[in-house]
Amino acid sequence: MKQLTQKVGMLAIAGFLGTALAQTEVSYWLWDANQKPAYEACAAEFSKQNPNIRVKIEQKGWDDYWTSITTGFVAGTAPDVFTSHLAKYPEFALNNQIVDLTPYIKRDNLDTKIYYPGLYDLWGKDGKQYGLPKDWDTVAIVYNKKMLREAGVTEAQIKNWTWNPKDGGTFGQILARLTKDKNGNNALSPRFDPKNVVQYGWVSPNGGGYGQTEWSWLAVSNGFKFNDGPWSRKYYYDSPKLAETIQWLADLGLKRGIAVPFKDLPTSGGVEPLFTSGKAAMMPQGSWMITYFRDNTKFEYGWAPLPIGPLGRKSMFNGLADNIWVGSKKKEEAWRWVRFMGSPTCQNIVGSFGVVFPAIKSGVDAALKAHASKGIDVSAFTTVANTPGATFLFPIADKASEVSSIMQAAMDSIFLGKATAVDALREANAKVNALFR
């Protein structure tokens, strides 16, 4: 009897090991550490439903992430699935490095109408689909409540503030009031000393060629457009509307002492810490950073809507998706993971973590509930997303890496005071458009 029991036990163990050994491992990379716990929870649920597949998640910082992806394509070490960006995937698709999901979507009769309008189409070109939407984001202004009160600015005022490139509107006035020199003068005072600032009203990097959080919302509200729509081959970086916007922003740091000088940012330890340490009163940020400020800000803060420009309030509406590497040996399993991440089940899980706004409504509702439970008002992000005409899409086009390189150099020269916005943007625009001839 004892021998029989031992045999049964051994068979059970062998069966367990057989099941475990039969699992296929799908590698999945993402760059946002804040999102990793949410997708680990998704992966656990996915493996319950697909016990023969295990997802191994790895997170890398932004720069290392893309370097590892692109070198992995060549070396054969790229992950099976990875979070992608609209500025990156066109080049991957052009070079046949990511899988066209269209056959899988048709085979599984997937309902692609569950996503927020416009998100699904961002990931397709020429009848091919390279991703399923996983989230969306907009931009708002994070502010220090104590500094606001000390400057005599009410939260009601910043809900309806205005901006224009001539005098900055009430937005520019408020930034000036929030800025103090060592003698306590704000930047509206004739005694203000811009070379001895102890509290800045504004901090932001220059944003390079797309300026999603840094300048696009001001420029588009002023009448600028990047190009003529998805996949167009002509840019308008030489627009006077963009030049006057960029020059206004650059002068905040170069001439007026209102923004942390761009030249000081590389040695400051990061832009966000300048806000969380109390060195600056306000900064623009995307909704994907809500959790960062929740976890790292030790004083009262809030999120304000973007200022109303000459053409109204405008925010870039961006979205992420997942790509499957064309070199993956597990494409079917990789597709099942991608399909799951785009499903209501995973999107509701992600929403419950309150890190991003998922691509379907029920996921967004879960995210709003999570933020409300922590006392965070995120309406500045959702209101603009739900207002007709208040958003514009990321300027998706080919040759994004070349465009980014040209425009980053141009923006650096402007924000360092080495060139005017008019001259630098005119020259850069000619170079950008030459890429498409």
* pLDDT at 188 (0 to 100): 98
Residue 420 has pLDDT above 90, yes or no: yes
∠ CA(368), CA(369), CA(375), 5° rounding? 90
The b-or-e profile of 319-350 (16+ CB within 10 A means b, else e) is: bbbbbbbbbbebbebbbbbbbbbbbebbbbbb
Q: Is the pLDDT of residue 11 over 80?
A: no
State the average pLDDT over residues 111-125.
93
Tokens of 65: 């992430």
Residues 397, 157: contact at Cβ < 8 Å? no
CA atoms within a 13 Å half-sphere pointing along the CA-CB vector of 255: 8
Given a cut of 50, is residue 12 above it in pLDDT? no
Q: What is the pLDDT of residue 22?
A: 67
The more confident residue out of 34 and 345 is 345
Question: With 80 as the cut, is the pLDDT of residue 2 above it?
Answer: no
pLDDT band at 5 (very low <50, low <70, confident <90, very high): very low
**How far is residue 46's CA from residue 351's CA, in Å, rounded to a whole number?**
16
Query: What 3-state class would DSSP assign to 27?
Result: strand
pLDDT reported for residue 268: 81
Question: 82-91, 97-106, 163-172: which range is least confident on average?
Answer: 82-91
**Does 287 have pLDDT greater than 70?**
yes
Using the predicted structure, report yes or no on whether residue 414 has a pLDDT greater than 90: yes
User: What is residue 14's predicted lDDT score, i.e. its pLDDT?
Assistant: 43
H runs (alpha helix) in 76-204: 89-94, 102-107, 145-150, 169-177
Global pTM exceeds 0.75 = yes
| Signed CA dihedral, 416, 140, 389, 110: sign only | positive
Whose structure tokens read 């029991």?
Answer: 5
pLDDT at 4: 44
Would the pLDDT of 9 be above 60? no
Average pLDDT over the chain reads: 94
Q: How far apart are CA 324 and CA 333, in angstroms?
A: 10
Asked whether the beta carbons of 261 and 436 are under 8 A apart, the reply is no
Task: Give the E-state strand segments of 128-204 in sequence order.
Answer: 128-129, 133-137, 139-144, 180-181, 197-199
Alpha helices, DSSP H, located in 62-179: 62-75, 89-94, 102-107, 145-150, 169-177
Residue 368 has what pLDDT? 94
pLDDT for 98 beyond 60: yes
Q: Model confidence over 352-411: pLDDT tens digits?
A: 999 999 999 999 999 999 999 999 999 999 999 999 999 999 999 999 999 999 999 999
Q: Mind listing the pLDDT tens digit for each residue in 146-193?
A: 999 999 999 999 999 999 999 999 999 999 999 999 999 999 999 999
What mean pLDDT comes out for the span 203-232?
96
Residue 15 reports pLDDT greater than 50: no
**Strand runs labelled E in 226-290:** 282-286
Residue 60 has pLDDT above 60, yes or no: yes
Return the minimum-mean-pLDDT range out of 13-22, 26-35, 128-137, 369-378: 13-22
